[in-house]
């Protein structure tokens, strides 16, 4: 713990009020030795409390006693012990002393009550400060658990989607009406390989990338169907994780072969023959 913790946590106030626990006393006294700032804060608080107590005390003026006895000695009626006719005997100084004493007592009660309220406020602040720290720790743990739960849920949904795609791919591959058309690499790219699954009845075409290098950011692979010797655009397709699954391409009624070329991103109107990576004829 650093010096700021002891200064802002309320432990110093509890220590000065004499209600800190033994552990808090040990920690603070160790901090006073270790951190000059804590020692300064404790001394400042001690000075403030002494000043506050000094200001609450009410002492009678120094000339009150002398003035009182002077009045008694110079007042004839008080010396003889008999009242003057037609005059009401009053004791202004006695009443004044009582009022002064009552006023002093009242201020002492007020000072005591204020001190009690101050200590109570410090205790409550300390308790609420600790409760706030516990709440913040629980909140951080909850946020961490929530992030973990959302991450697990996101991965679970991703795996579920991927499983559904794999099941769909298996159904397509196992369909007896679907023709499997291997597309081996061309002479410039002998290691490239892809496969087309084509259903002549539904005219649905699916492509699976077996092995193609990742293209540049401004490039994209494009599938072509060769129909009566002319290339027909079958659409561009994605690489990355998607390449391992069957990707649905454009439909076509008839074709003699399929080929894949590397084109600018978004595709081209006609294939770039120098960039033909794979090509294969339809069996039969």
* Number of domains the chain contains: 2
Average pLDDT value for the chain = 78
The pLDDT confidence band at residue 48, using thresholds 50, 70 and 90, is confident
Which phi and psi angles does 251 have, rounded to 5°?
-80, 155
Same-domain status, 100 and 183: no
Same-domain status, 188 and 142: no
Would residue 84 count as lying in a domain? yes
Number of H helices, E strands in the chain: 7, 8
> Residue with structure tokens 């006695």?
94
> Measured in Å, how far apart are the chain's first and last C-alpha atoms?
81
Query: Which tokens sit at 253?
Result: 């009624």
Same-domain status, 216 and 88: no
pLDDT given for residue 165 in this prediction: 66
* Residue pLDDT, tens place only, 86-95: 455 455 444 4
pLDDT given for residue 196 in this prediction: 95
* Number of other CB atoms surrounding residue 131 within 10 Å: 10
Same-domain status, 140 and 185: no
Domain that holds residue 242: 179-281
Mean pLDDT calculated for residue range 91-105 = 51
The fraction of the chain above a pLDDT of 90, given in percent, is 33
Same-domain status, 93 and 205: no
Same-domain status, 8 and 141: yes
Same-domain status, 31 and 113: yes
One-character DSSP codes across 215-226: PPTTEEEEEEEE
Query: pTM of this prediction?
Result: 0.46
Same-domain status, 102 and 199: no
Would residue 169 count as lying in a domain? no
Same-domain status, 203 and 130: no
Would residue 164 count as lying in a domain? no
Would residue 173 count as lying in a domain? no
Ramachandran region, residue 81 (left: φ > 0; alpha: ψ -120 to 50; beta: rest): left
Same-domain status, 134 and 20: yes
* Residue pLDDT, tens place only, 165-208: 677 777 887 888 899 999 999 999 999 999 999 999 999 999 99
Domain boundary among 95, 125, 147: 147
Same-domain status, 248 and 131: no
Angle at 156 between CA 153 and CA 160, to 5 degrees: 140
Would residue 235 count as lying in a domain? yes
Would residue 135 count as lying in a domain? yes
Same-domain status, 126 and 205: no
Q: Is pLDDT at 250 greater than 60 in this prediction?
A: yes
């Amino acid at each position: 713990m650093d010096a700021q913790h002891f200064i802002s946590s309320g432990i110093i106030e509890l220590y000065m009020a004499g209600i800190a626990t033994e552990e808090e006393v040990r920690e603070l006294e160790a901090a006073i030795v270790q951190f000059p700032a804590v020692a300064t804060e404790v001394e400042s608080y001690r000075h403030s409390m002494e000043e506050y107590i000094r200001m609450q005390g009410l002492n009678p003026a120094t000339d009150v006693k002398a003035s009182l006895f002077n009045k008694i000695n110079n007042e004839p009626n008080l010396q003889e012990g008999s009242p003057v006719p037609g005059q009401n005997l009053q004791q202004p100084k006695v009443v004044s002393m009582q009022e002064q004493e009552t006023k002093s007592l009242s201020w002492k009660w007020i000072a005591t009550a204020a001190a009690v309220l101050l200590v109570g406020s410090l205790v409550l602040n300390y308790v609420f400060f600790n409760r706030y720290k516990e709440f913040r720790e629980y909140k951080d743990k909850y946020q961490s658990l929530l992030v973990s739960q959302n991450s697990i849920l996101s991965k679970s949904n991703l795996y579920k989607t991927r499983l559904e795609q794999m099941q769909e791919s298996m159904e397509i591959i196992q369909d007896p009406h679907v023709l499997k058309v291997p597309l081996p690499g061309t002479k410039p790219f002998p290691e490239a390989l892809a496969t087309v699954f084509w259903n002549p009845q539904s005219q649905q075409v699916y492509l699976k990338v077996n092995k193609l290098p990742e293209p540049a950011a401004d490039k994209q692979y494009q599938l072509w169907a060769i129909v009566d010797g002319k290339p027909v655009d079958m659409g561009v397709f994605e690489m990355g994780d998607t390449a391992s699954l069957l990707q649905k391409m454009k439909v076509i009624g008839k074709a003699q072969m399929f080929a894949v070329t590397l084109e600018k991103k978004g595709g081209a109107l006609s294939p770039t023959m120098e960039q033909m990576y794979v090509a294969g004829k339809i069996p039969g």
